[in-house]
A and B are shown apart, each in its own frame.
Chain A
Amino acid sequence: MCGFSGYFGSIRDGRALLETMTAAIAHRGPDEQGIFTAPEAGLGHVRLSIVGLGDGQQPMSDASGELTIAFNGEIFNYVELRDELRARGRRFRTSSDTEVILHLYDEMGEACVSLLNGDFAFAIWDARRRRMMLARDRMGVRPLFYTAHGGTFYLASEIKALLKVPGISAEIDPIALDQIFTLWAPIAPRTPFRNILELEPAHLMVVDERSVTTRPYWQLQYPDRDRPGGIDERTAAEELRALLTDATRIRMRADVPVGAYLSGGLDSSVVSALAAGMAPQGLRTFSVTFDSAEHDESAFQLEMAAALGTDHKAIACREGEIARVFPDVIRFTERPIIRTAPAPLYQLSGLVREAGLKVVLTGEGADEVFAGYDIFKEARVRRFCGRQPGSRIRPHLFRKLYPYLPGLKQQSAEYLAAFFGAGDERLDDPLFSHRPRFKGTAATKLFFSAELRAQLKDYDAAAELVGRLPLDFGRWHPLHQAQYLESRFLLPGYILSSQGDRMAMAHGIEGRFPFLDHRLVEFAATLPPEVKLRGLTEKHILREATKDLLPPAIGRRVKQPYRAPDSHSFSGPGALDYVRGAFSTEAIAAGGLFNAGAVAKLYEKCRSRPASGFRDNAAFVGILSTQLWLQTFTGTGIRKAEAA
């Protein structure tokens, strides 16, 4: 697990540039640094040593010296792939997974990615064909960004490295901002930085002197809704268990100890239980706790840690902590966000680092793969209400879905139906499941400045998303359509990036996700919807497959979404100067993206009444993070306010 940067083209002092670029992402690889340059290309690498500690230095060249790779991530099936390569007469000089990729590329070219089971982003300089090949893992765990400037192609694990290239500077992309304030994340390959793109998950790219070609090598697919499921539940549970066990087993492969995040929910508990059984030396687990009862899960964390006998450590996300770390969080997310949830995970990876570990397993991905999120249930209830518009009974189900939202507790059936748009929607809308979320989030654009609105004109982020859906999307079951939207867009665009890789790698920690093993993802996609979401019980088949692993109280737990305190974190007597500065009229005017008068009223409302609703909270966090983004990457915004 590491970071890398590179270029393809003719530049004057490639080595010096690569040293500067890799220094910008040194947090991703504190153990080693390496530089490779050829006349027309270069690669730089910072290494977090996990596999092949003594001989896995990068960039790594093959025996011929014609192929050179810079690689971030892990190939979990490298042992099996290496055995097969050896059987074909291939000789290995190192014990690393990196060399396996080089051999496979030498044999198969870019088609080699289809054999890799792992979380990876890499670039191979192919001197024979004078081309650079880039690839990214199927689900989008590891990042890879690129841009072109002055006839040279540049690439890096984080955008901050690209900003070290002379002539490349940060400028906000208004369309990306609209997408974040509607969909929660930009639609890849777009990033918030104008002219800087990311390689999409499950894509590869070949860059040569004449062209840049990009294509997918894998696609998330679901069966046609009319096709009967051909598997009984018991068999499905057994197969799921076998796949998940193997996915966890190969993710325990490392030359350093592997720990686990333990949230107290079903998914991380299952992963920790499987991992504990594979760690004869004992498993170390890590959690974050909150002061507020509505966010805290420490009782379940302690129960699970005790049941497994793990060496457990927790870090408290106390009042004011989110505000304290938030500027650092935005420096690492490199994008505005509308929720604060990454901040406690930033703290948590720091705890793991202090404990001396480099690798953690997590339960991330189970909610996408096995239909755990509330939004899946909400869509089902909305369809149920839509069958009998005007029902005074059916909308009460919405209250059951969101027991943790105080604003819903006291609402009448009529209001519940109205809030969720139940009863008067187009059931064939491809975004049916997510439409209330997108519509509710887009209400935050009320704060956009007149200038920004003029630039955006009639741009519709949700319509662009519809245009990105695969041709056979309309033939899938509604639950599978909703799962696709979560898995293909929000998972890589927010969960695995802003909450995942960027928060873990800020402290040099590698997260591994057994639920995102592509064999498990493909298997789960074939399962009938009712096996995943049974009535309003989420992840039914996962519960069945793992019930012997967990204490009953954990196994029966209804999903509690991972949330953190939002605008409330930034208010109160301890409000930090930078927050006041970011919301000041001068700073808002300097940034030019928001309406200063409206923002001032929002700031006062959130400070005086901490129990703000979703729209106000999302707007507060979105505006603050955008202002911090401007300050961090363009030098505008807050700094001017401080000078004022």
Chain B
Amino acid sequence: MTQTIKEKVKTFIIENFLFGDTSYDLADTASLIENDIVDSTGVLELVAFIEDQFGIAMADADIVPANLDSLARISAFIEAKAVPVTA
């Protein structure tokens, strides 16, 4: 389950923010902001992706770097909150 979430998120980041650049070594704990992978608009794209893909309604208080600023943090956040959209 965890692997699936992480891989989905990783694919989204590579396609949407790195434009398919698979040569980029995206470490699980790398900061998405410090590495210029997401900007303020990118965070909103990330939120929309999480809500659409994982059926999570994100409150304003959830939208913080502690939850979203690395692949590992995003995966952990989704894992803690996820409710499957479909069976």
Contacts and interface: CB of A to CB of B under 8 A. Distances in A.
A550 B15 CA distance: 51
A406 B44 CA distance: 10
B41 A611 contact: yes
B19 A446 contact: yes
Contacts of B16: 605
Contacts of A599: 19
Interface string B11-33: 00001101111000000000001
Interface stretch (A333-341, A359-367, A437-445): A437-445
A213 interface: no
B70 to A, nearest CB: 12
B33 A613 contact: no
Given A446-B21, A598-B19, A601-B20, A412 B36 contact: no
B60 A412 contact: yes
A407 B43 contact: yes
A613 B42 contact: yes
Most chain B beta-carbon contacts within 10 A, residue among A415, A440, A601 = A415
Contact of A598 (B21, B44, B60, B63): B21
A140 B18 CA distance: 38
A277 to B, nearest CB: 44
Interface residues of B, number: 23
Interface in B55-87: 60-61, 63-66, 69
Contacts of B43: 407, 411, 415
A615 interface: yes
Contacts, number: 71
Interface string A341-362: 0000000000000000000000
Nearest to A611: B41
Contacts of A407: 39-41, 43-44
A613 B41 contact: yes
Contact of B60 (A405, A410, A443, A447): A410
A440 B36 contact: yes
A614 interface: yes
Given A410-B60, A415-B63, A418-B69, A447 B40 contact: no
Size bracket of the A interface: 20 to 34
Contacts of B37: 443
A598 B43 CA distance: 20
B80 to A, nearest CB: 18
A439 B36 contact: yes
Interface in A174-210: none
A242 B44 CA distance: 49
Contacts of B40: 405, 407-408, 411, 415, 419, 613
A609 to B, nearest CB: 8
A77 interface: no
A513 to B, nearest CB: 33
B43 to A, nearest CB: 6
A446 B37 CA distance: 10
Given A446-B18, A601-B20, A605-B16, A410 B63 contact: yes
B39 A613 contact: yes
A470 interface: no
Given A410-B44, A411-B63, A614-B39, A419 B19 contact: no
Given A440-B36, A615-B36, A615-B39, A601 B19 contact: yes
Interface string A580-623: 00000000000000010111011001000001111110000000
Contacts of A411: 40, 43, 63
A431 to B, nearest CB: 16
Contact of A443 (B20, B36, B44, B69): B36
Contacts of B36: 439-440, 442-443, 615
B38 to A, nearest CB: 8
Interface in A530-550: none
Contact of A412 (B20, B33, B63): B63
8 contacts: A411-B43, A414-B64, A415-B63, A446-B21, A598-B18, A598-B19, A613-B42, A615-B42
The 5 closest A-B pairs by CB, nearest first: A613-B41, A407-B40, A598-B19, A443-B36, A407-B41
Given A412-B60, A415-B65, 16 more contacts: A405-B40, A406-B41, A407-B43, A411-B40, A412-B63, A414-B66, A418-B33, A418-B34, A443-B36, A443-B37, A595-B19, A598-B18, A598-B21, A613-B40, A613-B41, A615-B36
Interface of A: 405-408, 410-412, 414-415, 418-419, 439-440, 442-443, 446-447, 595, 597-599, 601-602, 605, 611-616
